[in-house]
């Protein structure tokens, strides 16, 4: 993100200060990462031991610590999951599921937003410290300002959701409280911690702005993120417990400690997936704010500022979005490993149709992101060199998009087959199966990265002596990677067996990743000390800003959709295989019903976000004092 | 002047050939590596082995 | 204000476009399985077969995986004569199970799918020793014995074979009901044992098995069981005692330990027995 701005060059900090910076970064990364690594490490060791049963026999310290407490109480017997009958669910006249659906989704939208914003705000603030460019600091502060109300809104929806769940699903919530017990209190404590760090971080921004105090401020931001992330992973464990319960026996009686209950097979895949998706989502939402401000003013200085802010937001959103399919792949693979039946319910059964909608949404996101990058090239004078390529990228994107939305091979019921006129579409059949889609998706990602790379190059001229060689290598990597992706998809997908077909999709993903990584490394080396061409912030067509509205709308809808799929793969279970759902809403609704629900939550979210932005702008508006003594 | 052009064309050609050679070797190796990591070995002509 | 209206309009239009896409797709509801009341007194074999077909397609979720060749994740069943195929499987030298006839083979495949894994259909990396299929009598599918019989009847009848499973009698139904009753009693389980001695006592293992000699009480002595059986075998002998019965013994061991024992207890006992060498 070290774009050249028409601003003054940063002063080079002294070696001592640089060391301090590095130390601080190393420490904070360590803090952030260590939790994850530890979780991953512990889970691998436990996984390799559990099947032999050593963990239990040796008397794991945690069990020993917790078991006596429970044994001392009256409830010495492990309690199985309740089996409520339909009459045990309160009937309030409207669908309980719809109420919980709306509240949960709104809570999740805002939670995602307020978790993501402090994360990249901290990054931008750090960037400001590094470059000494105050505009980063100001922008980071502005991001914080516009999302501040979001924290309260998150809490309000969270509270309403909990209330609704306790009232509408009392047996289920009773069981969840029984299983998670004191963990919920830990959650509450972290909630208070987060509030504390949030307010000190935000209101202390200008008080702790320079020198050593800035490091205090950055540390506050780090703690804010740490508590926020902890809250997220704690809450994720509830969702993953419902999908793939662990730490309980076949009838749902608790047999493990809280750690065993939390670290189910899907916990870390969900943690990673949500973490990345939150960043993309947060970036997209604040991008819409910048776009709105850009369109509402004619002042060139303000337009330049909001253009830059919009660009940065889009950069964050797209950059976080690119690795998301891979995290999704991991999650899906873990779901299959946990229960093949659950995996097929999601990908091949009734829910599979939703992945066509997903393709439309992701296609929208990629096209909008690319369009914004292309339009943004008009900011620089050096972009003419690359403009010829845009039309080819556009063609690739559109063709791949169409292949992608070609209906899947599905496990069809008789009624579905009659609707489609056969289990395969008679003309598009060969394009509708997974290998073709894998090729399409990977090529779309490669094309998007190409757009991104061209945009980044458009204001620079390489001065290193090996630049022609570097360019040749980059071209070669693109060409060979694209050929490889197509070859893998066609050869293994259509001419070998299923196992190789599935295996080859991993290589396709690896090829895409190689392009991205090689592109970043090569460009970093090649454009060291590059000559920069002038770029003009604010010189971008108005219509490009609509891409910045399309992104958050598509992201919001996509989150609503995938959240619905994630929750629905449990089918008629509250807690999969352990606690059955006997409520009147225990069926999977039609796609159109789900679509309506998702649209309702998206629109509600949109309105809440508007409110949030409006409140943020109030603070910088001051009513003119009425003229004293004038005729009233 | 002419020799200079010739030289630069030649060196351009060489760098393109070398680049493609590197990329092809790399991705060929990547196919073998990632497939065999999943327990799916390949023959030298990339057809499934075994 | 004009900008606000324009951007809001754009956002709403896009949202409605996405909603519209969902209207283009087939509208299907996924019903949760409904408990069906079957009147056993008037049940005919045809009804029973129809019930089996319904279970196969719906509650049993068999068709999620068992589909014709390019679609399926498991061998095709509806397009194959399962009786003929079962006989072939029983004759296969890889077959290690207990079943003696086609019906027995089909039942065994549902209860313990890993017993015989059709070549190339095993879990990846297990060399066809482990099946990806869940046990059909366990959650999340949880078919009852009668329901599994109905499926077998359907699989036999669909290709014109004789149905060898018997219609459920009212007594069977009563016994099914009583196990259901037991299952719901299990909501209040006794406290899990914390040591292996407690666990052995709780399940009264030494009532039938001598732990420190090879003498036969009711079942075989277990002093050297760790040399005779692998971990998996021991585990199976407890969870599913009638799967493999030691030579010269009757099937006398209770078959409900799988439902009674906690995972921890089972692991403790298995580890304890494995040490007996």
Distance CA C277, CA C274 (A): 7
| Lowest mean pLDDT across A181-185, A556-560, B27-31, C126-130 | C126-130
**CB-based contact, A578 to chain C, within 8 Å:** yes
So what's the pLDDT on residue A24?
Answer: 60
pTM value?
Answer: 0.70
Is residue C79 located within the same domain as residue C165?
yes
Distance CA A187, CA A177 (A): 13
| Lowest mean pLDDT across A294-298, A406-410, A625-629, C205-209 | A406-410
| Lowest mean pLDDT across A238-242, C30-34, C142-146 | C30-34
**CB-based contact, B23 to chain A, within 8 Å:** yes
Q: C165 — alpha (psi -120 to 50), left (phi > 0) or beta?
A: beta
The answer to whether the CB of C240 falls within 8 A of the CB of C258 is yes
Distance CA C259, CA C237 (A): 14
Q: Which residues in chain A have Cβ-Cβ distances shorter than 8 Å to B16?
A: 472, 475-476
CATH classification at residue C109: 1.10.760
- Searching chain A, which residue's CA lies closest to the CA of residue B20? A476
Instruction: Decide if pLDDT at A421 tops 50.
Output: no
ipTM: 0.90
Supply the range of the domain harboring residue C48. Answer: 40-169
**CB-based contact, A365 to chain C, within 8 Å:** no
- Which of A97-106, A134-143, A435-444, C114-123 ranks highest by mean pLDDT? A97-106
So what's the pLDDT on residue A141?
Answer: 93
Is residue C44 located within the same domain as residue C153?
yes
Task: Convert the pLDDT of each residue in A332-383 to its tens digit.
Answer: 888 888 887 787 777 766 777 788 888 889 889 989 999 999 998 888 877 8
Is residue C145 located within the same domain as residue C107?
yes
CA distances to A76, A86, C184 from C188, rounded to whole Å, are 10, 21, 9
Comparing B35 with C45, the larger pLDDT belongs to B35
Is residue C161 located within the same domain as residue C267?
no
Overall average pLDDT of the C116-124 stretch: 81
Is residue C89 located within the same domain as residue C203?
no
Q: List the single residue in A468, A469, A496 with the smallest CB-CB distance to B48.
A: A496
Tokens of A582: 């006997």
Q: List the single residue in A54, A578, A587 with the smallest CB-CB distance to C29.
A: A587
Tokens of B26: 């790399």
Is residue C165 located within the same domain as residue C200?
no
In this structure, the dihedral spanned by the alpha carbons of residues C99, C100, C101 and C103, taken in order and rounded to 10 degrees, is -30
**CB-based contact, C65 to chain A, within 8 Å:** yes
pLDDT band at A43 (very low <50, low <70, confident <90, very high): very low
Looking at residue A14, the DSSP 8-state letter turns out to be P
**CB-based contact, A95 to chain C, within 8 Å:** no
Is residue C70 located within the same domain as residue C158?
yes
CA distances to A277, A333, A543, C94, C140 from C10, rounded to whole Å, are 24, 37, 11, 64, 45
Instruction: Decide if pLDDT at A535 tops 50.
Output: yes
Task: Convert the pLDDT of each residue in A165-215 to its tens digit.
Answer: 999 999 999 999 999 988 889 999 999 999 999 999 999 999 988 888 999
So what's the pLDDT on residue A424?
Answer: 44
**CB-based contact, A76 to chain C, within 8 Å:** yes
So what's the pLDDT on residue A624?
Answer: 81
Is residue C49 located within the same domain as residue C161?
yes
- Searching chain A, which residue's CA lies closest to the CA of residue B38? A503
Strand partners for A535: A380
Instruction: Decide if pLDDT at A409 tops 60.
Output: no
The number of domains in chain C is 2
| Lowest mean pLDDT across A261-270, A374-383, A392-401, A588-597 | A374-383
With respect to residue C178, please indicate whether it lies within any of the assigned structural domains: no
Overall average pLDDT of the A304-318 stretch: 91
| Lowest mean pLDDT across A121-125, A484-488, C2-6 | C2-6
So what's the pLDDT on residue A82?
Answer: 86
So what's the pLDDT on residue C69?
Answer: 65
With respect to residue C176, please indicate whether it lies within any of the assigned structural domains: no
Backbone angles phi, psi at C211, to 5 degrees: -85, -25
CATH classification at residue C205: 1.10.760.10
Neighbouring chains of C at 3+ CB pairs within 8 Å? A
Is residue C164 located within the same domain as residue C200?
no
With respect to residue C19, please indicate whether it lies within any of the assigned structural domains: no
Chain-chain contact of A340 with C132 (C-beta, under 8 angstroms):
yes
CA distances to A85, A231, A243, A312 from A172, rounded to whole Å, are 12, 22, 14, 43
With respect to residue C231, please indicate whether it lies within any of the assigned structural domains: yes
* Average confidence score pLDDT of chain C: 77
Chain-chain contact of A475 with B19 (C-beta, under 8 angstroms):
yes
Comparing A492 with A549, the larger pLDDT belongs to A549
Q: How many CB atoms lie within 10 A of CB A432?
A: 20
Instruction: Decide if pLDDT at C36 tops 70.
Output: no
Overall average pLDDT of the A143-148 stretch: 89
Chain-chain contact of A488 with B40 (C-beta, under 8 angstroms):
no
Tell me which residue of A175, A153, A151, A173 sits closest to A164, measured CA to CA: A173
With respect to residue C25, please indicate whether it lies within any of the assigned structural domains: no
Q: Give Cβ neighbours of residue A22 (< 8 Å, ≥ 6 apart).
A: none
So what's the pLDDT on residue A30?
Answer: 52
> Which secondary-structure segment (H or E) carries A71?
helix A61-72
Chain-chain contact of A472 with B40 (C-beta, under 8 angstroms):
no
So what's the pLDDT on residue A403?
Answer: 83
Chain-chain contact of A476 with B22 (C-beta, under 8 angstroms):
yes
Instruction: Decide if pLDDT at A539 tops 80.
Output: yes
CA distances to C39, C44, C173 from C169, rounded to whole Å, are 11, 11, 7
Q: Which residues in chain A have Cβ-Cβ distances shorter than 8 Å to B20?
A: 476, 479-480
Instruction: Decide if pLDDT at A255 tops 80.
Output: yes
With respect to residue C215, please indicate whether it lies within any of the assigned structural domains: yes
pLDDT band at C218 (very low <50, low <70, confident <90, very high): low
Tell me which residue of A10, A168, A166, A178 sits closest to A91, measured CA to CA: A168
Distance CA A397, CA A388 (A): 15
Q: List the single residue in A475, A503, A511 with the smallest CB-CB distance to B40.
A: A503
Rg, C-alpha atoms of chain C: 25
Tokens of C177: 């009901």
Tell me which residue of A337, A69, A76, A253 sits closest to C264, measured CA to CA: A253
Instruction: Decide if pLDDT at A16 tops 70.
Output: no
Q: List the single residue in B12, B23, B34 with the smallest CB-CB distance to A476.
A: B23
Comparing A568 with A10, the larger pLDDT belongs to A568
With respect to residue C20, please indicate whether it lies within any of the assigned structural domains: no
With respect to residue C24, please indicate whether it lies within any of the assigned structural domains: no
So what's the pLDDT on residue A71?
Answer: 37
Q: Which residues in chain A have Cβ-Cβ distances shorter than 8 Å to C132?
A: 340
Distance CA A121, CA A144 (A): 7
Is residue C160 located within the same domain as residue C82?
yes
Is residue C82 located within the same domain as residue C157?
yes
DSSP sequence for chain C: -HHHHHHHHHHHHHHHHHHHHHHHS----BPPP-PPP--GGG--HHHHHHHHHHHHHTTT-GGGTB-STTT-SB--STTS-HHHHHHHHHHSTT--S---SHHHHHHHHHH-GGGS--TT-SPTTTTTSS-SPPPTTSTTT---HHHHHHHHHHHHHTTTPPP-SPPPPHHHHHHHHHHHHHHHHTTBPPPPPSSHHHHHHHTTGGGT--SSS---SSS---TTHHHHS-HHHHHHHHHSTTSS--TT--S-S-S-HHHHS-HHHHHHHHHHHHT--
* Average confidence score pLDDT of chain A: 81
Tell me which residue of A116, A160, A121 sits closest to A140, measured CA to CA: A121
Chain-centroid distance of CA A188 in Å reads 24
**CB-based contact, A38 to chain B, within 8 Å:** no
């Amino acid at each position: 993100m070290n774009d050249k701005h028409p601003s003054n060059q940063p002063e080079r900090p002294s070696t001592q200060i640089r060391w301090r910076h590095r130390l601080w970064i190393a420490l904070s990364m360590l803090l952030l990462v260590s939790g994850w690594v530890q979780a991953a490490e512990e889970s691998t060791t436990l996984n390799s031991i559990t099947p032999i049963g050593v963990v239990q026999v040796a008397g794991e310290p945690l069990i020993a610590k917790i078991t006596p407490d429970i044994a001392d109480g009256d409830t010495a017997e492990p309690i199985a999951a309740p089996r409520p009958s339909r009459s045990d669910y309160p009937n309030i006249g409207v669908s309980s599921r719809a109420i919980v659906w709306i509240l949960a989704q709104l809570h999740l939208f805002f939670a995602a937003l307020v978790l993501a914003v402090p994360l990249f705000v901290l990054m931008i603030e750090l960037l400001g410290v590094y470059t000494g460019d105050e505009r980063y600091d100001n922008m980071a502060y502005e991001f914080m300002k516009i999302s501040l109300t979001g924290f309260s809104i998150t809490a309000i929806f969270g509270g309403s959701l909990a209330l609704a769940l306790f009232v509408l699903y009392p047996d289920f919530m009773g069981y969840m409280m029984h299983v998670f017990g004191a963990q919920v209190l830990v959650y509450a404590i972290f909630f208070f911690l987060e509030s504390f760090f949030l307010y000190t971080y935000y209101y202390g921004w200008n008080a702790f702005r320079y020198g050593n105090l800035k490091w205090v401020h950055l540390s506050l931001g780090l703690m804010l993120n740490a508590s926020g992330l902890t809250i997220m992973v704690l809450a994720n464990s509830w969702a993953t417990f419902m999908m793939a319960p662990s730490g309980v026996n076949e009838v749902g009686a608790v047999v493990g400690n809280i750690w065993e209950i939390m670290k189910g097979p899907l916990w870390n895949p969900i943690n990673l997936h949500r973490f990345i998706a939150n960043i993309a989502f947060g970036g997209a939402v604040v991008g819409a704010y910048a776009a709105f401000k850009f369109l509402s003013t004619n002042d060139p200085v303000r337009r330049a500022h909001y253009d830059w802010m919009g660009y940065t937001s889009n950069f964050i959103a797209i950059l976080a979005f690119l690795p998301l399919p891979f995290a999704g792949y991991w999650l899906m693979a873990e779901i299959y490993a946990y229960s093949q039946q659950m995996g097929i319910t999601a990908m091949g059964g009734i829910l599979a149709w939703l992945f066509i909608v997903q393709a439309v949404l992701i296609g929208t996101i990629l096209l909008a992101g690319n369009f914004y990058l292309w339009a943004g090239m008009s900011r620089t004078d050096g972009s003419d060199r690359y403009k010829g390529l845009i039309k080819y990228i556009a063609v690739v994107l559109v063709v791949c998009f169409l292949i992608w939305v070609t209906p899947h091979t599905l496990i069809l019921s008789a009624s579905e087959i009659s609707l489609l006129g056969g289990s395969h579409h008679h003309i598009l059949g060969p394009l509708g199966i997974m290998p073709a889609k894998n090729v399409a998706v990977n090529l779309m990602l490669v094309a998007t990265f190409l757009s991104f790379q061209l945009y980044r190059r458009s204001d620079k001229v390489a001065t290193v002596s090996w630049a022609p060689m570097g360019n040749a290598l980059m071209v070669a990597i693109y060409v060979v990677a694209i050929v490889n992706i197509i070859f893998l998809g066609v050869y293994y997908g259509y001419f070998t067996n299923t196992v190789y077909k599935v295996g080859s999709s991993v290589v396709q993903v690896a090829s895409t990743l190689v392009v991205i990584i090689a592109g970043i490394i090569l460009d970093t080396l090649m454009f060291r000390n590059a000559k920069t061409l002038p770029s003009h912030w604010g010189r971008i067509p108005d219509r490009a800003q609509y891409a910045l509205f399309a992104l958050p709308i598509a992201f919001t809808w996509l989150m609503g959709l995938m959240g619905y799929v994630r929750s629905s793969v449990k089918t008629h279970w509250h807690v999969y295989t352990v606690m059955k759902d006997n409520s009147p809403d225990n069926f999977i609704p039609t796609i159109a019903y789900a679509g309506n629900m998702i649209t309702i939550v998206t629109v509600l979210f949109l309105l809440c976000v508007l409110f949030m932005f409006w409140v943020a702008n109030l603070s910088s508006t001051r009513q003119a004092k009425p003229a004293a003594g004038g005729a009233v | 002047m002419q020799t200079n052009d010739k030289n630069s064309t030649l060196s351009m050609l060489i760098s393109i050939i070398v680049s493609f050679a590197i990329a092809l070797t790399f991705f060929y190796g990547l196919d073998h590596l990632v497939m065999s990591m999943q327990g799916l070995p390949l023959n030298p002509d990339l057809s499934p082995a075994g | 204000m004009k900008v606000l209206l324009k951007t809001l309009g754009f956002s709403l239009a896009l949202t409605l476009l996405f909603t519209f896409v969902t209207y283009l797709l087939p509208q299907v509801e996924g019903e949760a399985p409904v408990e069906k009341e079957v009147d056993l007194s008037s049940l005919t074999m045809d009804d029973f077969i129809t019930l089996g077909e319904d279970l196969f397609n719906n509650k049993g979720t068999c068709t999620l995986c068992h589909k014709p060749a390019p679609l399926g994740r498991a061998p095709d069943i509806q397009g194959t004569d399962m009786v003929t195929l079962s006989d072939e499987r029983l004759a296969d030298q890889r077959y290690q199970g207990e079943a003696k006839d086609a019906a027995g083979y089909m039942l065994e495949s549902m209860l313990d799918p890993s017993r015989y894994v059709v070549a190339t259909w095993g879990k990846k990396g297990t060399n066809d020793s482990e099946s990806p299929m869940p046990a059909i009598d366990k959650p999340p599918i949880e078919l009852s014995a009668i329901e599994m019989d109905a499926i077998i009847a359907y699989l036999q009848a669909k290709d014109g074979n004789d149905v060898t499973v018997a219609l459920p009698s009212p007594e069977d139904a009563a016994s099914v009901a009583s196990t259901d009753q037991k299952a719901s009693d299990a909501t209040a389980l006794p406290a899990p044992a914390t040591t292996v001695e407690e666990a052995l006592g709780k399940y009264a293992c030494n009532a039938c098995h001598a732990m420190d000699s090879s003498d036969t009480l009711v079942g075989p002595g277990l002093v050297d069981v760790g040399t005779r059986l692998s971990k998996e075998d021991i585990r199976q002998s407890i969870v599913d005692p009638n799967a493999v019965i030691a030579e010269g013994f009757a099937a006398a061991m209770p078959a409900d330990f799988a439902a009674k024992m906690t995972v921890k207890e089972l692991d403790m006992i298995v580890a304890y027995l494995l040490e007996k060498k």
